[in-house]
A and B are shown apart, each in its own frame.
Chain A
Amino acid sequence: MTLDAPQPTMSNAAGVDGRDAASTPWVNVAPLMSTRRRRNVGDAVFRALTTGAAWSLVGVVVAIVAVLAWECAGAMRTFGWSFLTVQKWDPVANEYGALPFIYGTLVSSLLALLQAVPLGIGTALFLSEMAPSWLRAPVAFLVELLAAIPSVVYGLWGIFVLVPWVRGWVTPWLADTLGFLPFFQGPSYGVGMLTASMILAVMIVPYITSVALEVFRTVPVAQREAALALGATRWEMIRMAVLPYGRVGVVGAIMLGLGRALGETMAVTMVIGNRPEISASFFAPASTMASVIANEFSEAASDLYVQVLVEIGLVLLVVTMLVNILARLLVWRVGDAAAGH
């Protein structure tokens, strides 16, 4: 749909030009005609360029998938579908299964969303509805600055600040209060699934906040005033006027954050503990698809070893794509519900 979008706009522009020329008879026609011809050439070139740009992107995605599939064909033949369901990762014996990495990627990203969504939406609501105007710009700027920090810096901060803090304060507190759940049991090393999700949360908050803030700003003032005029408190106004109006955009913002979390490599690698094992406890070390590729690709000497790492790359791509499709469906459903509302 994105592809045919430019077309009506362009024919529209041509139409405007034509009418301009026809309705202004006092203009010397000859140079205008040549300008028009030239402009038509320009339109054609522009159209070709934009069409080419759009299709080349499609081509790049197709090429990536094709190359990945081609490069890992050997591993696919060797392991088949069991690659996705086996928990073993032994480069010495050449036995591989991607399940712990798929689990690690999905769970760390979802845990990150659980933390980042309330924080990000809360920040965006505060900035758009409650913050005094002198505070709004600096805070929004600082939040966006978080997105500019390189992930390796987050990783270092994670190792030196977050890890000791998680080990000393967060996990003991979680074990005391929620220890009856299997997720919060067992020894805590500081590094592990929970720490990785926390760092991911910090990394995706700026995405969620910025997009959600833009969305909330588009809510018409009249709608807010109407709610207030009917006697709504500020919270009721936000709940009834702002949130439903921005629902589609907010879901989109969350999905943008999720996409970032799924693919994040460096910071996660540095604090997740890199253990290819599925463990019920969030305190335990884990590993993700992106981190295993970053860790092991450079020294993978045997052909099969390289192929399984490429196959993990393909799986990561497919998982990301599925999540995005799901998100798109969700946005449509939410959009429909909002329209029916």
Chain B
Amino acid sequence: MRSIQRLLGFLVVAGALGAGPAHAQLQLNGAGATFPYPMYSKWFSLYTSVDPTARFNYQSIGSGGGIKQITEQTVDFGATDGPMTNEQLAAARGPIMHVPTVMGAVVLTYNVEGVKTGLKLTPEIVADVFLGRIVKWNDAAIAKANPDVQLPARDIIVVHRSDGSGTSYIFTDYLSKVSQTWSDKVGRGTAVSWPVGLGGKGNEGVTGLVKQTPFSIGYVELIYARSNQLPYASVVNKAGKDVTPSLESVTAAAASVTDMPEDFRVSITNAPGEDAYPIAGMTWLLVYQKQSDAEKGKKLVKFLDWMLTDGQKVVPDLHYAPLPPAVATKARASLAKITAPDGTALLGK
């Protein structure tokens, strides 16, 4: 009996000495959007040199899953490409904050013989093609926007995402803003009832179909189009200027949103800026304003603060667009609202 007691005592002491304070690591669990996943994993690995005791575990299961998990508090933070709706926020156990992280653009990629690069599109053309109202590549509207391009008299084959995705949300959000018909008939969402076209699963599915299907047009994320050397079209923006998608023109889009709301639930599609690329979107991390665990909450807030300052510097390396400085500053200020269970602010403690 006594020897067992002694053994137990030894084990407890050993446990306290060995596994205890020496590696007091805290694991923060997150889940959600797939689009910013490469950025997040880069941040999480870089952050270990800032705070070696913080460990992150992020599951890129999709925005819908991220919202569900943060609502049920099965994760410490969520992530989404589309802002939570008011009903979704009301269903959560307490106020949830949206912390903007990075931005991306959705580009129109095409496979038209003889048109290697430089296709120009207007909002009306994009909407009408995806509504099935423009069916030929040599349609008068496309020809007018591209006077120097020899367009073939072939049917346009539209390719869209078949899986629910933030990319589709940004694209349909844009179409709903520029076309009343689209807004009435289809609307915005991560998955919609597409009037025409073929569905490909994921960015790679859409890319595969566009590459394999002559005279097709589809939409993919800018990062994806760049790393795969796909041709993509420039789009005329709200200010009437023809803008090529790039990291700068995406950041310009966010910078030109003058009425940035307090909760950052904002759509930056069809932004008013002169140099703004119109089909761009933000992605957010979701955190509870009142953290249920002070230790974890503190680590999380510190990470968010780092992410909005030093973290933003590495964003262009991965072909995402960084937040405009004004937005990042405003987001940092909002972190002061995050509190421990007893209501004390966690930042700067």
Binding site for B on A (CB under 8 A): 88-93, 159-160, 163-164, 167, 187, 189-191, 269-270, 273-276, 285, 287, 291, 294-296, 298-301
Chain B contacts for A190, CB-based, 8 A: 212-213
- Indicate if the CB atoms of B63 and A301 lie closer than 8 Å: yes
Contacts of A88 in B (CB 8 A): 193
- Closest CB-CB distance, A104 to chain B, in whole Å? 12
**A residues less than 8 Å from B212 (CB atoms):** 159-160, 163-164, 190
**Are A296 and B201 within 8 A (Cβ)?**
no
CB closest chain-A residue, reference B91: A303
Name the CB-closest residue of A to B216: A189
Chain A residues within 8 Å of B191, by CB: 91, 295-296, 299-300
Identify B198's interface contact among A90, A91, A191, A300, CB under 8 A.
A191
Interface size class for chain B?
20 to 34
Cβ contact within 8 Å between A91 and B192: yes
Contacts of A274 in B (CB 8 A): 162, 198-201
What does the 1/0 interface line of B65-82 toward A look like (CB < 8 Å)?
A: 101100000000000000
Q: Which residues of A contact B189 (CB under 8 A)?
A: 91-92
Separation in Å of the B178 CB from the closest CB of chain A?
A: 17
A191 in contact with B165 given A298-B61, A299-B64, A301-B190 (CB within 8 Å): no
Pairwise interchain contact A298-B62, C-beta atoms closer than 8 A:
yes
If A187-B155, A190-B213 touch, does A298 touch B163 (CB 8 Å cutoff)? yes
Within 8 Å of chain A (Cβ to Cβ): is B188? yes
- CB contacts (< 8 Å) of A287 on chain B: these are 162, 199
How far is A295 from B205 in the complex, measured between Cα atoms in Å? 11
Question: In the bound complex, do residue A90 and residue B193 qualify as a contact, i.e. CB atoms below 8 Å apart?
Answer: yes
The count of A-to-B residue pairs whose CB atoms sit within 8 angstroms is 95
Would you call A160 and B67 a contact (CB within 8 A)?
Answer: no
B238, chain A: closest CB distance, angstroms: 24
Cβ-defined contact, A90 with B192, below 8 A = yes
Contact residue among B65, B157, B193 (Cβ-Cβ distance under 8 Å from A92)? B193
16 further A-B contacts with Cβ under 8 Å, apart from A296-B163, A298-B64, are A91-B190, A92-B187, A159-B208, A160-B212, A190-B212, A191-B209, A191-B213, A274-B199, A275-B197, A285-B198, A295-B164, A296-B191, A298-B163, A299-B65, A299-B190, A301-B190
Give the CA-CA distance A22 to B189 in the complex, in Å: 79
Bound form: Cα–Cα A298–B67 in Å: 11
- Residues of chain B in range 130-178 having any CB-CB distance to chain A below 8 Å: 155, 157, 162-166
B243 beta carbon closer than 8 Å to chain A: no
B226 to chain A, nearest CB (A): 21
B residues within 8 A CB of A291? 162
A residues within 8 A CB of B67?
301
| Complex contact B201–A295 (CB within 8 A) | yes
**How many Å lie between the Cα of A291 and that of B202 in the bound state?**
13
Contact A295 to B208, CB < 8 A, known contacts A89-B193, A91-B191: no
The residue that A300 contacts in the complex, of B64, B199, B201, with Cβ under 8 A, is B64
- Across chains A and B, which 10 residue pairs bring their CB atoms closest together, nearest first? A299-B164, A274-B199, A274-B162, A298-B62, A92-B187, A90-B193, A301-B64, A295-B163, A299-B64, A299-B190
Residue of B164, B192, B199 most packed against chain A (CB within 10 A): B199
* Residues A273 and B199 in contact, CB atoms below 8 Å apart: yes
CB <8 Å contact, B208 and A301: no
Residues of the B chain whose Cβ atoms lie less than 8 Å from the Cβ of A163: 212-213
**Distance of A90 Cα from B195 Cα, bound (Å):** 11
Distance A298 CA – B161 CA, assembled complex (angstroms): 13
Contact (A301, B68) CB under 8 Å given A187-B155, A190-B212, A274-B199: yes
CB distance from B237 to the nearest CB of A (A): 25
Q: Does B125 contact A (CB under 8 A)?
A: no
Decide yes or no whether B186 CB sits under 8 A from chain A. Answer: yes
Determine the distance from Cα of A92 to Cα of B62 in the docked complex, in whole angstroms: 18
